Amino acid sequence: MKNVDEHRETEDSKFKLGRREFGQAALAAALAATTTQTGSATVHPNPPGIKICTSYRADPTDEDLLFLNQIGVEYVSLGATPETANAEAFTKMRERYESAGIKVYNIGSGVGPSGSLHNMPEVTLNLPGRDQKIAEYKNYLRYVGAGRRTLHDLCTHGQRYLE
């Protein structure tokens, strides 16, 4: 029994880290993780400073666009309806706002053919209809990708569902 305890103490002493050593090891691991990532994402630089953004309708009138420009809105966040939840409509929304000098910051993932694509209990709780919701969400991502060019963000809590 004594040999086992001595062996255990010898092994434990090899792995004892003080707070400073532990912090250094954690920092080194974090730096290594960030420097080894590769990807093909395009970064669209945003100038520093406050961005004036508002939620607005997908089909603004000329008066709406004039008003938004007059009050200094630079970005809009748009919602989608079942009728506008497709690549063509997303592109049309973006182009309409950009024609007035306003950038579309995001298009929310609010709807799909089976209803809401926001906080989907079917997916998180593995309920019936899960696969349909995942397929609809993937389509939503394709639509945003097709119409996106200048979209800066996806307004969604669903990314974790597809990992």
- Distance, in Å, from the CA atom of 152 to the CA atom of 75, rounded to the nearest integer, reads 10
At residue 159, the pLDDT reads: 42
Once rounded to an integer, what is the mean pLDDT over residues 36-59?
Answer: 75
pLDDT at 127 over 60: yes
State the chain's mean pLDDT as an integer: 75
Once rounded to an integer, what is the mean pLDDT over residues 130-149?
Answer: 78
pLDDT at 60 over 90: yes
pTM: 0.57
Strands 103-107 and 115-116: unpaired
Once rounded to an integer, what is the mean pLDDT over residues 38-57?
Answer: 76
What's the pLDDT tens digit per position in 67-123?
999 999 999 988 888 788 778 888 899 899 999 999 988 887 667 667 777 778 888
Q: Exposed (0-12), middle (13-18) or buried (19+): which is 78, by Cβ within 10 Å?
A: buried
Instruction: Choose between 91 and 65: higher pLDDT.
Output: 65
Q: Exposed (0-12), middle (13-18) or buried (19+): which is 12, by Cβ within 10 Å?
A: exposed
Which residue segments constitute the domains of the chain, with CATH numbers given? 2-35 (no CATH), 53-162 (3.20.20.150)
